[in-house]
Chains A and B, each alone.
Chain A
Amino acid sequence: MAFCLLYKPVLQFCEIVVNEANFVRKCIGAESCQDDLWGKLVCTNFKVSFIAHNSLPRQCTHRLLGEHDIPLACVEQVVTVNDVKGKQKILGSNQKLKFNPTELILYCKDFRIIRFRFDEAGPESAKKVCLAIAHYSHPADPQLLFGFEYVGKAYNKIYMRVNGVDPGGGLQTPLFDCSSDWDREIKRTGASEWRVCTINQGYFISPSLPEFFVVPVSLADQDLKQYACCFYSQRIPLWCWNHSSGSALVRMSNISDPQQQRKVEQRISSAITKSHPLRSDVFKSDLDKNLPNIQDIQAALLKLRQICVIDSFEESEEKWLSSLESSRWMEYVRTFLRHAVEVVYMLESRHVSVILLEKEDRDLSCVISCLVQLMCDPHCRSLHSFQGLIQKEWVMAGHRFLDRCNHLKRNDKEESPVFLLFLDCVWQLWNQYPAAFEFTEVYLTVLGDSMWVPVFSTFLFNCPRQRAEHSRDFASSKSIHLGQDQALCFPPVWDWSQQFSLKDQTLFNNPLYVGKIATCVQNGTVKTFTHRRSKVSC
């Protein structure tokens, strides 16, 4: 009886097995097969699971994933091989396979490469499980991502008892999806000349902005509605944060209408100036001109992956440092940090407000605005405020997580590890200021990995509006009553109890943390050419 239990994959309550194959060998060592594991390969609608025959059930620390599990969203490429016929095929969704695979190689987004051999498995079941993995790792629609199933079932289960689902599970992390979170942030930073604007409620003005955001008090709703149409995707400039000197950090997309450009720019600038206690000028920082673009960042990551896991160990070991340099990943990390330092200098020493200018204001600005706040504001270095910061500058500001993660594997050109690059920048800061951050390297690593567990609201959508729309569609198609909620209550990644026990979560706490007393961490800093490859990035 117990033996049978071992053979069964551990399923989430809404998870279903799609296909499976027995007598599969999971390759562990690169050279010999002596450490290889025998077992069953299972594809579910959430993950690729491998249940080893002769290993004892390990107490797994992860609540959603077992030791050998790979979430489908983490699978980058599915390669099937028949080494007898010398054939190889990269599988997409809904494809045919003309040979019986002897080997399956999964290239994962988190740099893992996992190999399964089917020498002893039934050829048909091997083929079927490969095709299933390929198919399910290429969902045709966002609503096929496991998160919908996961949260939908939760509604059915809980709705009967409680009226709705607790949005953040009693979280201390502000999500910035309501005006009170913004009010608190305004109060905290002493930004008295700024106000919460509600004109985008229902997303009627801009499709990619949140419902609530902050603008200078001198700009009336009527003006904002008028200016909105000049900006890319009607993105009215967003207030991020106020320095204690009163200088504001604002992010802004390009003005699409060249005839209006000067006039609108001037209006916005003068409004920001009016909101500054010293009425100082505004400095515009053009991110597109000074920073690598998303394709550059993606190319650097691919090179980094090449030297980390694809090239032979001996080869990469010999030329490790120069290969690392030529990947340009570290250079980009440095560029971002340096740029953030320049912005900090303007805010802190020149006492001027800064506008971060980016064409769409949805990628590079997220990184820079967060880094600036981390450098200047000790408050942001506590765990909950750091999470709030990501919520504010990434999730609510409309970073296209769905496209950048390429969860649907539809458009490789849109894929870019901007968020990972940001985590690497934070890791560098963390290394230079080991006592300034409440969280640890483990926390940063786990946060990066969570991008590939597709159940969290944080990483599933391109913007809040998209989340709301998909929620509504999904809810109506599954007859889920949302009650008072605007959208399905996906757990944010910040609800760490979804993934880890409280005991494991203690690994997030940095014992060297000195609390919020530490001051600005930027002065004369950036020496990001520390040769060590970021552990976060690999």
Chain B
Amino acid sequence: DRSSGPRVSDTELRVYKDPSKDELPLLPEELVQDSAKDVTYICPFIGPVRGSLTVTNYRLFFRCTDREPVFGLDLPLGGLSRVEKIGAASSRGDVSYGVVCKDMRNLRFVHKEPENSLKKSVFEVLMKFAFPVSNNMSLFAFEYKQVFPENGWKVYDPLAEYKRQGLPNESWRISKVNDHYELCDSYPATLFVPVTITDEELRRVSSFRAKGRIPVLSWIHPESQAAVVRASQTMVGQNGRRCKEDEKLLQAIMDANAQSHKLFIFDARPSVNAAANKMKGGGFESEDAYQNAELVFLDIHNIHVMRESLRKLKDVVYPNIEESHWLSNLESTHWLEHIKLILAGALRIADKVESGKTSVVVHCSDGWDRTPQLTSLALIMLDSHYRTIRGFQILLEKEWLSFGHRFQQRVGHGDKNHTDADRSPIFLQFIDCVWQMTRQFPAAFEFNEYFLITILDHLYSCLFGTFLCNSEQQRLKEEVPKRTVSLWSFVNSQLEEFVNPLYVHYPSHVLFPTVGIRHLQLWVSYYIRWNPRMRPQEPVHQRYKELLAKRAELQKRVEELQREAANRMASSSSERAGSPTRSITPVQTFV
């Protein structure tokens, strides 16, 4: 039953139609853990509202009781990054609680301490269930047993995806060297490498690349055979170590593409940071060791800078916006500047591959943050398949999940350690970049904005297994595909919600977005969606659905008419042919 499935609430305050009914929509296996009456939610937009607060093993649910129309808050506990008591109890025994969310909002509640000191306050229960990992409990994704018509875990089959790209071919082969994740525990089992490189050589390369993340193929151009290859940094160190197998591998990557006698290495980092990494044993390819290769730095900053930038953005947009200095405040967060650098980097990669017909190697330090941002954006520009709903899912499964973007660490699922320096909005930034592209090419993407927001909401929700763990190996070890539901099961079972009616499928169009600051926008409908004044004022989503229905109707009509025309043609031609084998009713003539 689809209606009992989860819905992403796109408004903070949901209005309930029938206030008399208790409308807590529980999911399968979702259990109420505690609830309290007389909780006050200090809404930054409409002021304090009183109501009841319910905590389940999946969500926080607040329903106000003193207002018409009745509305409430309904958010998955996975979206919480911090719950804390603020200050001491007031003279009336009221205690304030602050909830910091991963989705750009903070909530504040006021509640009386329970008089019976043995009884836990609802907020203590909330703290326990909001951070199950820190409390030795499992994430709700492992409990949730909703059945969907489609199994989303089957969306991505690496061999089928590489076959779509025409692989293996005479230059690229599948290597089984990482079948049991021995070569690199953060890489997928299926790797594509040049045919001229042996598995033994790959093992040697792995000791020269950070975390063993060797250069492997991400994508190959169907015509020019120019390849997008991803890796981590070389372990050059201060003494300038070299590795002849690595040099041979890069030469082989270049040789696999007959169209070009050059190879471009895109190092995502600012050159200063890349150089500083030599102190820690890392570094970058020297042009002495790698002849025919040209190294380009893309000046994208690290996870800590990005986290800080998003924090500043949150300060600027939540809860209140200083209208008179909106633009300069936004500028001072540097968020759009970072988006610009990432898009600009991806654009250079796509341009080298498409226009220069040259193969490229992309890496940052470990190759699991900036690298997937760049490769997946470049792939979206280059390959229209990744702009479809299913293609985009494959892209995420491939470039982000199988290649070990550390979702667990970057998001901190169920972990109460909100100051963890490993957290960073890298994936959010990527989705933002995709959104910027959908703005510039409104007819090039099969999915709509709601699809992107749904992905981000479930990045945090812990309802689906898709974004759990740090690598393919970990997900298999935890039996995530067996024990949880994939986000794509949910999405693909109601595709009509996510379709962009303006989409036109042009198979071979390459997108080159404009990346200047003046062409980028703040994604208001994501970052500022909690502010009621910033909401889109027209239900465009509804209008899109109407357009889709209209299109389907017209399509059907066209087919009907075509069939009719074909029939007429067939019958008239057969009449004229006057086939002797067919008995034609003789036309009676009355005289």
Task: Give me the interface of A with B, judged by CB distance under 8 Å.
Answer: 313, 317-322, 324-326, 330-331, 334, 432-436, 511-512, 514, 518, 521, 523-525, 527, 529-533
Contact = CB atoms under 8 A, between A and B. Distances in A.
Given A432-B536, A530-B524, A531-B327, 13 more contacts: A320-B517, A321-B331, A326-B328, A330-B327, A433-B537, A435-B540, A435-B543, A436-B538, A521-B537, A529-B321, A530-B521, A531-B330, A533-B518
Given A527-B534, A531-B326, A434 B524 contact: no
A433 B537 CA distance: 7
B7 interface: no
Contacts of B533: 524, 527
B323 interface: yes
B328 A322 contact: yes
Interface string B299-340: 000000000000000000000010111111011000010000
Interface of A is mostly: loop
Contacts of A527: 533-534
Nearest to A538: B518
A530 B521 CA distance: 8
B323 A320 contact: no
Closest 8 CB pairs of A and B: A325-B327, A321-B331, A322-B328, A321-B327, A529-B326, A320-B517, A435-B543, A322-B331
Interface in B526-557: 532-534, 536-538, 540, 543, 547
Contacts of A512: 540, 543, 547
B540 A322 contact: no
17 contacts: A313-B516, A317-B518, A319-B331, A321-B327, A322-B327, A325-B325, A325-B328, A330-B327, A432-B538, A435-B540, A514-B543, A518-B538, A521-B537, A529-B323, A531-B327, A531-B330, A531-B522
Nearest to B516: A317
Interface of B is mostly: helix
Contact of A532 (B325, B331, B521): B521
Nearest to A313: B516
Contacts of A521: 537
B472 to A, nearest CB: 39
A82 B536 CA distance: 54
A319 B325 CA distance: 14
A524 B533 CA distance: 7
Contacts of B532: 524
Residue in B323, B327, B328, B537 with the greatest tally of chain A CB atoms within 10 Å: B327
A435 B534 CA distance: 17
B517 A525 contact: no
A334 B323 CA distance: 10
Contacts of B321: 529
Contacts of B336: 321
Contacts of A313: 516
Contacts of A434: 538, 540
A324 B537 CA distance: 25
Contacts of A433: 537-538
Nearest to A320: B517
B521 A525 contact: no
Contact of A529 (B327, B516, B540, B547): B327
A436 B328 CA distance: 31
A330 B537 CA distance: 20
A521 B536 CA distance: 12
Nearest to B543: A435
A412 to B, nearest CB: 28
Residue in B326, B522, B543 with the greatest tally of chain A CB atoms within 10 Å: B326
A320 B337 CA distance: 11
Contacts of B536: 432
A436 B6 CA distance: 31
Residue in B324, B331, B518, B540 with the greatest tally of chain A CB atoms within 10 Å: B518
A514 B538 CA distance: 11
Given A435-B543, A514-B543, A529-B321, A320 B331 contact: yes
Nearest to A524: B533
A114 to B, nearest CB: 21
Residue in A334, A529, A532, A533 with the greatest tally of chain B CB atoms within 10 Å: A529
Contacts of A317: 516-518
Interface in B489-528: 516-518, 521-522, 524
A321 B537 contact: no
A339 to B, nearest CB: 15
A518 B542 CA distance: 14
Residue in A317, A322, A326, A527 with the greatest tally of chain B CB atoms within 10 Å: A527
B436 to A, nearest CB: 12
A514 B325 CA distance: 35
B537 A525 contact: yes
A313 B532 CA distance: 36
Nearest to A434: B540
Contacts of A514: 543
A480 B19 CA distance: 76
A318 B325 CA distance: 17
A327 B533 CA distance: 25
A324 B547 CA distance: 36
Contact of A325 (B326, B521, B522, B540): B326
